[in-house]
Amino acid sequence: MDKMNDLEMRHEREVHFALDELFYSRTDKRGVIIAGNEIFRRVSGFEWSDLVGAPHKIVRHPDMPRAVFRVLWDAIQKGHPMGAYVKNRAKGGGWYWVYAIILPIEGGYLSVRLKPSSELSDRMMKLYSEISARERAESLDPEASAKLLRKNSEAGGYPSYTAFMGYALAQELAERDRRLGRPVEPRTRMLADLNEAMGRLTSEQLGLLRSFEALQSVPNNMRIVASRLEPSGGPVSTISENYKASSVVISERLRKFVAGRDNLCARMSWEVARALFMLGCTRIVGEMNTILQSEGSGGEIDSATERTLLRGLERHGDEEARKAMQGASEFAAQMKQQSRELRRLMLGLDTIRVLGRVECGRMRDASGGLSATIDQLDAFHDDIKARLEAIMHLSEEIEQALTRYLRSLALAA
């Protein structure tokens, strides 16, 4: 009963605001509030005299894990826009959740925030609670807890936290449009479609690497079997040595393709994530500008100045998204070509595998161990070729989607 009363009390203290309302605030480099909109002031419960000149952490809620702010600051201090779910506190102890986009600007930072309403927001609130509990119980420093946050993104199949936040923004915009009865906005649809394709592509990349790493043990098994079936230097030993030499060459190519810090897949994923996030940001910034116009210029905040800044950010964001999409399209074309090349190299391995199968047949009754080893090769080869085919098609799908969108932008201009 006490727990239920506590939950009810906390629910009653939530500060509500409408789904079509957006918060706006601008700070200097130190995070000191310079300006904001009336919705921000009203929901926070503070007066402008309390907000302007105060650090933005005046609205930080103690329930928030430090991990989130470490990830945010790491990004924006390097000049990269970033997003996050944030629980804020209101004056008098109330609280409210937002999805915030934070954009670095000359002399400081700008944030636009919307009301989260997707299923993902519920999952993130639960994750925040778990990370906060670990921060307290294990005395985790911000960087250690930030790793937990990034690890959660990777576990979900996203190559980076930025990619995950692009997906989150797409989910929030789509659900917001649905609840407000708005038609699906083309940029939002593209966000969702490309995020889904990138998630599948990342899954195929990881599966490809795992299969190929597992494949490396098979030639050793083949040599062990050969030592029992034939004299040293026999045909099975020769086949296993040839297979190992060829697979090493492919392994090196594959690692440059899907592994390592600057691999082709990671570079394309980064460009797609950046493009998607900027598309979502520019849409929200444009809507924020419209809201500021309806609020008018009055009171302590000069909304005309803020609107001029937002218009510039919207243009800059569109241009950055276009550049990122162009770069991602070029990487996707390279991915497609590399997939074809790796598939061609796999055909060479197939030839060696077939020779092993022939030798297995020649040995007949004595070849039980060899037969099982060749069966392993068959299974790995089938999986690798299927994944390469999937990566090639997904790369083409992403390239075509980006090219269509870039073409539509050119026509609109």
Q: Left if phi > 0, otherwise alpha if psi is -120 to 50, otherwise beta: which for 79? A: left
- How far is C-alpha 178 from the chain's CA centre? 23
Answer for the pair 113, 23: CB distance below 8 angstroms, yes or no: yes
Residues 110 and 209 in one domain: no
Structure tokens, 261: 């810090």
Please indicate, yes or no, if residue 34 is contained in any of the structural domains. yes
Please indicate, yes or no, if residue 356 is contained in any of the structural domains. yes
According to the model, what pLDDT value does residue 368 have?
60
Rounded to the nearest 10 degrees, how much is the dihedral formed by the CA atoms of 39, 42, 48, 53? -70
Reading the chain (413 residues) residue by residue, the pLDDT tens digits are 344 444 444 445 899 999 999 999 999 999 999 999 999 999 999 999 999 999 999 999 999 999 999 999 999 999 989 999 999 999 988 999 999 999 999 999 999 999 999 999 999 999 999 999 999 999 999 999 999 999 888 777 777 888 888 889 988 998 999 999 998 777 777 767 777 787 788 788 878 878 877 777 777 777 777 777 777 667 877 887 888 788 778 877 777 776 666 677 778 878 888 888 888 899 999 999 999 988 765 557 788 889 999 999 999 998 988 898 888 888 888 888 888 888 888 888 888 878 877 877 776 545 567 777 778 788 888 888 888 889 888 888 888 888 887 887 777 66
Q: How far apart are CA 311 and CA 33, in angstroms?
A: 20
According to the model, what pLDDT value does residue 299 have?
57
Query: What is the pTM for the complete model shown?
Result: 0.80
Residues 229 and 368 in one domain: yes
Residues 346 and 244 in one domain: yes
Residues 102 and 207 in one domain: no
Please indicate, yes or no, if residue 103 is contained in any of the structural domains. yes
Domain end residue (candidates: 95, 123, 151): 123
According to the model, what pLDDT value does residue 121 have?
93
Residues 91 and 212 in one domain: no
Name the phi and psi angles at 17, rounded to 5.
Answer: -150, 160
Residue 237 lies in domain: 189-412
According to the model, what pLDDT value does residue 76 have?
92
Please indicate, yes or no, if residue 91 is contained in any of the structural domains. yes
For the chain, the domain total comes to 2
According to the model, what pLDDT value does residue 349 have?
82
Please indicate, yes or no, if residue 17 is contained in any of the structural domains. yes
Please indicate, yes or no, if residue 256 is contained in any of the structural domains. yes
Domain end residue (candidates: 69, 89, 123): 123
Please indicate, yes or no, if residue 181 is contained in any of the structural domains. no
| CA-based radius of gyration for the chain | 27
According to the model, what pLDDT value does residue 9 have?
40
Give me the CATH number covering residue 78.
Answer: 3.30.450.20
Residues 310 and 400 in one domain: yes
Please indicate, yes or no, if residue 177 is contained in any of the structural domains. no
How far are the Cα atoms of 5, 26, 46 from residue 51, in angstroms, in the given order?
A: 33, 11, 7
Q: From start to end of 253-325, where are the E strands?
A: none
According to the model, what pLDDT value does residue 127 have?
94
Q: How far apart are CA 184 and CA 345, in angstroms?
A: 44
Residues 217 and 98 in one domain: no
DSSP assignment of 34-54 equals EEE-HHHHHHH---HHHHTTS
Domain end residue (candidates: 123, 145, 177): 123
